[in-house]
């Protein structure tokens, strides 16, 4: 296949890649000009055939043999599968410092331990954002939504550290600085205890001012950095905070994010606070919208699901975290039946405790088979891939730009090596990728037309140096005591009606 550039600067062409088409898999060439996909063509067809997509850059037969030619870069993707990049649609990067260490606890106690030992150093923020980006890339992700925990007093510096890390790696970043205006203990239902909570460290208005500064300083989609409005959730945020976020998101045309009904305790709390469900309340105050994505969504009633569909909000499914914290199984088959968009997230690495998107996609797909006897409702591997890519893009109001292999969309895509032992023998490549346990399967990653991973290695940063830094700044330990867990555990056991309260 020869390439005619017709005056355009051809960036590169990927040849011989397997891609998915309606009838199955086909060997295909994909051409990228600047940072977008400019042409896609089956390699046994000419550019005049109906399977040809694209206007200015025909890819036509006879087949081109690979290698650079006349200054054009041609990449041979024989025995490789090309898929659109996935979105790691909910995580908290700095939790990486505590992965593996927090014992099996429900969210309300787990988070107390998390807060007791949270990193307070922007260098750590930078390193864990690098680690989160690397693990996301090596499991098929090209975009990450970082619901970023801020260091008190160094809020903008925290965001700057994460921005630096993501830009250095080259992953597409959606950073939602995690904001709230109530203290942690307010996140538990009070029950009959009349418990009082300390005031939060910062006023609602100061937090909104901070967000305005963050947006003006860091939001830069052209450079791959997007800011989201991301109050942590109804459990720790006032209506005034939500409303301030709505106003900023409208003014700057930004997406909204939050946690939603992750645990039974949060469901109980919503009734205490509002006398209605959290979803009904968020609808009333106008937070739900086609550019709102909500992490977890485990404890929604059918009437709540109808509201999610009606407002075209997105559910971010974090199956591993929901199991690890005992939160429950989100009713994802019901969401799909109601037409609610669903994407996948790893959640922070202290509640998972990795950042492997393929693991989240597998478990987040097969987990629901036990919730519905009728297998005709189960999620197929193809549907899983679409949820992880296009579903992720929709939740970020970016489905015009990313989430599928289409001419005109950003060149955010991933090549998987189908000769990895974990993807053999050859059967259905997407079935193997989603239902199997792929190891070392990501061969190359491009984001915005730039190659970020090659031969299975991240090329933009020195990963060995990152490992050394993470190693040097940490130590092995099997035991630590969280003062806050000790303080609140008996209240938690009491309101959740667990035996022998203390």
Residues 419-438 that bind its own copies (CB under 8 A): 419-433, 435-438
Tell me which of 96, 178, 236, 295 binds its own copies, using CB under 8 A.
Answer: 96
Tell me which of 473, 486, 487, 501 binds its own copies, using CB under 8 A.
Answer: 473
CB of 292 to its own copies, least distance (A): 26
Q: Does 484 bind its own copies (CB under 8 A)?
A: no
Q: What is the DSSP string of 379-441?
A: PPHHHHHHIIIIIHHHHTT-TTTSSS--TTSB--EEEEETTSGGG-S-S-HHHHHHHS--SS-
Q: Which two tokens stand for residue 389?
A: 């890519």
Q: Does 471 bind its own copies (CB under 8 A)?
A: yes
Site residues for its own copies, 114-173, by CB under 8 A, read 128, 131, 134-135, 138
CB of 52 to its own copies, least distance (A): 22
Nearest residue (CB) to its own copies, 155 versus 353: 353
CB of 269 to its own copies, least distance (A): 16
328 neighbors 290 (Cβ within 8 angstroms): no
Closest of 178, 210, 185 to residue 200, by C-alpha: 185
Distance between start and end Cα atoms, the chain: 72
Tell me which of 103, 153, 408, 483 binds its own copies, using CB under 8 A.
Answer: 103
Q: Does 460 bind its own copies (CB under 8 A)?
A: no
Q: Which two tokens stand for residue 452?
A: 């970020």
Nearest residue (CB) to its own copies, 2 versus 501: 501
Closest of 73, 31, 67, 71 to residue 52, by C-alpha: 31
334 neighbors 372 (Cβ within 8 angstroms): no
CB of 450 to its own copies, least distance (A): 22
CB of 213 to its own copies, least distance (A): 30
Q: Does 499 bind its own copies (CB under 8 A)?
A: yes
Q: Does 502 bind its own copies (CB under 8 A)?
A: no
Site residues for its own copies, 19-78, by CB under 8 A, read 20, 24-25
Nearest residue (CB) to its own copies, 102 versus 234: 102
What's the rounded Cα separation, in Å, for the pair 162 and 308?
31
Nearest residue (CB) to its own copies, 265 versus 411: 265
What's the rounded Cα separation, in Å, for the pair 128 and 149?
12
Tell me which of 8, 65, 69, 100 binds its own copies, using CB under 8 A.
Answer: 100
Tell me which of 324, 336, 409, 410 binds its own copies, using CB under 8 A.
Answer: 324
Stretch of residues binding its own copies (CB under 8 A), selected from 56-64, 69-77, 228-236, 459-467: 459-467
User: Which of helix, strand or coil describes residue 231?
Assistant: strand
CB of 248 to its own copies, least distance (A): 34
Number of residues that bind its own copies (CB under 8 A): 88
Place of tokens 């309260």: 501
CB of 337 to its own copies, least distance (A): 13
Site residues for its own copies, 376-415, by CB under 8 A, read 378-381
Q: Which two tokens stand for residue 142?
A: 């090209």
Q: Does 199 bind its own copies (CB under 8 A)?
A: no
- HEC string of 442-465 equals EEEEEECCEEEEECCEECCCCHHH
User: Which of helix, strand or coil describes residue 160?
Assistant: helix
Site residues for its own copies, 353-372, by CB under 8 A, read 353-356, 359, 363, 366-367, 369-370, 372
The torsion region of residue 339 among left (phi > 0), alpha (psi -120 to 50) and beta comes to left
230 neighbors 257 (Cβ within 8 angstroms): yes
What's the rounded Cα separation, in Å, for the pair 189 and 349?
26
What's the rounded Cα separation, in Å, for the pair 180 and 242?
9
CB of 362 to its own copies, least distance (A): 8
Site residues for its own copies, 200-219, by CB under 8 A, read none
CB of 279 to its own copies, least distance (A): 21
CB of 474 to its own copies, least distance (A): 4
Q: Does 95 bind its own copies (CB under 8 A)?
A: no
3-class SS shares of the chain: helix, strand, coil, % to 5: 40, 20, 40
């Amino acid at each position: 296949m020869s390439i005619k550039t017709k005056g355009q600067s051809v960036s590169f062409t990927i040849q011989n890649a397997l891609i998915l088409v309606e009838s199955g898999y086909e060997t295909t060439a994909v051409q990228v000009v600047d940072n977008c996909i400019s042409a896609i063509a089956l390699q046994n067809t000419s550019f005049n055939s109906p399977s040809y997509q694209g206007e200015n850059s025909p890819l036509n037969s006879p087949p081109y043999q690979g290698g650079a030619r006349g200054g054009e870069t041609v990449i041979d993707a024989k025995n490789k599968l090309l898929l659109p990049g996935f979105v790691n649609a909910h995580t908290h990067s700095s939790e990486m410092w505590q992965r593996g260490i927090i014992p099996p606890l429900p969210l309300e106690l787990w988070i107390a331990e998390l807060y007791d030992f949270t990193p307070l150093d922007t260098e750590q923020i930078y390193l864990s954002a690098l680690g989160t980006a690397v693990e996301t890339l090596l499991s098929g992700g090209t975009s990450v939504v970082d619901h970023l925990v801020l260091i008190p007093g160094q809020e903008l510096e925290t965001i700057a550290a994460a921005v630096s890390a993501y830009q250095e790696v080259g992953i597409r970043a959606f950073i939602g600085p995690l904001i709230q205006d109530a203290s942690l203990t307010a996140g538990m239902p009070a029950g009959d205890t009349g418990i009082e909570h300390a005031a939060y460290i910062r006023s609602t208005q100061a937090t909104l001012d901070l967000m305005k500064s963050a947006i003006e300083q860091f939001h830069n989609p052209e450079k791959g950095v997007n800011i989201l409005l991301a109050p942590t959730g109804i459990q720790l945020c006032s209506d005034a905070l939500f409303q301030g976020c709505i106003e900023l998101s409208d003014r700057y045309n930004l997406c909204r994010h939050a946690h939603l009904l992750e645990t039974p305790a949060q469901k109980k709390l919503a009734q205490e606070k509002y006398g209605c469900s959290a979803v009904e309340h968020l609808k009333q105050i106008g937070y739900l919208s086609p550019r709102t994505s909500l992490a977890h969504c485990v404890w929604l009633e059918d009437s709540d699901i109808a509201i999610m569909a009606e407002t075209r909000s997105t559910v971010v499914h974090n199956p591993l975290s929901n199991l690890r914290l005992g939160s429950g199984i989100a009713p994802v088959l019901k969401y799909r039946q109601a037409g609610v968009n669903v994407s996948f997230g790893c959640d922070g690495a202290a509640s998972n405790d990795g950042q492997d998107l393929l693991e989240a996609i597998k478990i987040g797909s097969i987990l629901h088979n036990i919730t519905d006897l009728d297998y005709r409702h189960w999620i197929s591997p193809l549907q899983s891939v679409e949820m992880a890519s296009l579903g992720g893009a929709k939740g970020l109001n970016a489905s015009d730009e990313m989430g599928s292999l289409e001419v005109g969309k950003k060149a955010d895509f991933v090549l998987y090596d189908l000769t990895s032992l974990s993807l053999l023998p050859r059967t259905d490549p997407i079935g193997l990728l989603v239902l199997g346990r792929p190891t070392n399967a990501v061969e190359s990653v491009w984001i915005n037309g730039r190659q970020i991973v090659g031969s299975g290695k991240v090329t933009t940063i020195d990963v060995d140096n990152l490992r050394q830094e993470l190693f040097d700044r940490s130590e092995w330990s099997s035991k630590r005591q969280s003062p806050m867990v000790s303080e609140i555990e008996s209240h938690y056991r009491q309101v959740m009606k667990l035996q022998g309260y203390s």
